[in-house]
Amino acid sequence: MPGSSRAWSAPASILIGFVYIAGYGVLYLGATMLSALALPRLAPGAPKWAFSVSHGVLWIASVALVTWLMRSKLNRRPWAGMATPLPPTLGRFPLGFVAGAALLLAVFAVQFGLGWLRVTGIDSLSMAWPRAALGLFPSLGVGFCEEIAFRGYILQTLGERMPAWAAVLLTALIFALFHFTLGGFGPGFVVTVMGLSLVFTILRFATGSLWFPMGLHAAWDWTQTFLVGVGNVGARPGHDPALVHVAQGGPGLWVGQAPSIEGGLIYALAAAAALAAAWAYAAARGRLPRWGLPLRPDGTQ
C-alpha cells in the first residue's frame, strides 16, 4: 500500500544510499551535458546566460524528481521526511543565504587582516555583476540539490534505521567523500566538510526544515566563487568569474588550496564556530535530536 514502509536493514540502507549518490552524480553530469550540447542545437541564438539558467533548472528538477521517486515509490515513505515544508518556512532560505555569505566574508576579512589575502583586481560592476547574478543559478543548484540529497534523503533513509548519531556522522562522511574529485581534497577538507555537514544537519533540526541550510550552503559556494574569488585562485587569466580577484599568500595549512578552500584550518575554525552557534540555537529551542533514537518517517523523533 502507498502508506506502508519497506523494512530495509541498516546495511541495505547504506548500499541504497551509495546507489542514490552515484545516480546523483550522473544527474549532475547529465544536466551539464544537456545544457552545453542540447541548448545550442535547440536554440542556436540563445545568449550565454541561458546555459547557467538551464543547467540550474535541469539539475534541480532532475534531483527533485529522482528523490521523490526513491522516497515515495521505492522506499514508500512520506515526503515530509525530506524536511522541505513550503511557506512560511521557505522564507528561511534568504536568511540562510545572508548568514552563509556573512560567515565567509568574515573569514576573508580575517585573512586580509593577517596579510594572507591580497586583492589583485576588482571588475567593474557592469562586467562583474551579470556574472555574479548568473552564478546564483548553479549556486542555488548546489544548495538545493546537495541538501535534499544528503541532509534530506540520505540522512532520513539512514536515520529511520539506526540511531540518529550514527546516521548524522555517516551522512557527513559520505558527503565529504563525495567531493573527492576536487583539487585540494585531503584529510583537512574531509574534517571541515564533515563539520559543515553537522552544521547543516543541526540547522535542519533547529528550524524544522532544510530551507535555511540550503540558503547557507548556496551562499558558501557563491561567495567564494562569484563574489570574492578565493575558490578561483590560480585560475587562468580571464577564467575567474568573481567580482573581486584575490591572491593568497598565507600558510597552506591555514588557507587551504583552491577550489577546496575548506582544507584550510581557518575554514575548519569557521565551521566549528558555526556548529557551536547552530548547536546553541537548537538547544535554546529544545530541538536537539535525541541521539540514541532513530528518526520517524516524517523526520521527527
How many other C-beta atoms lie within 10 A of the C-beta of residue 209? 22
pLDDT at 95 over 70: yes
How many other C-beta atoms lie within 10 A of the C-beta of residue 82? 24
What percent of the chain clears pLDDT 70, i.e. is strictly above it? 90
Positive or negative, the CA dihedral 121, 127, 128, 131 is negative
pLDDT at 39 over 70: no
Please, where are the H alpha helices in the chain?
10-33, 39-42, 49-68, 92-113, 125-134, 136-146, 155-159, 164-177, 187-207, 211-222, 252-255, 265-284
pLDDT at 5 over 50: no
Can you give the pTM of this predicted structure? 0.91
Higher pLDDT, 31 or 173: 173
The confidence band for 40, taking pLDDT boundaries of 50, 70 and 90, is: low
pLDDT at 151 over 80: yes
Mean pLDDT of 115-141: 88
Q: Cα–Cα distance between 78 and 68 in angstroms, integer? A: 9
The confidence band for 75, taking pLDDT boundaries of 50, 70 and 90, is: confident
Residues written for the chain: 301
Whole-number pLDDT of residue 46? 64
Strands 244-248, 117-122: pairing is antiparallel
Whole-number pLDDT of residue 35? 64
Whole-number pLDDT of residue 231? 95
- Give the tens place of pLDDT for each residue, 260-299: 999 999 999 999 999 999 999 999 999 999 999 999 999 9
Instruction: For residue 7, give the C-alpha cell.
Output: 523494512
The confidence band for 26, taking pLDDT boundaries of 50, 70 and 90, is: confident
Q: Cα–Cα distance between 71 and 89 in angstroms, integer? A: 21
Whole-number pLDDT of residue 3? 39
pLDDT at 218 over 90: yes
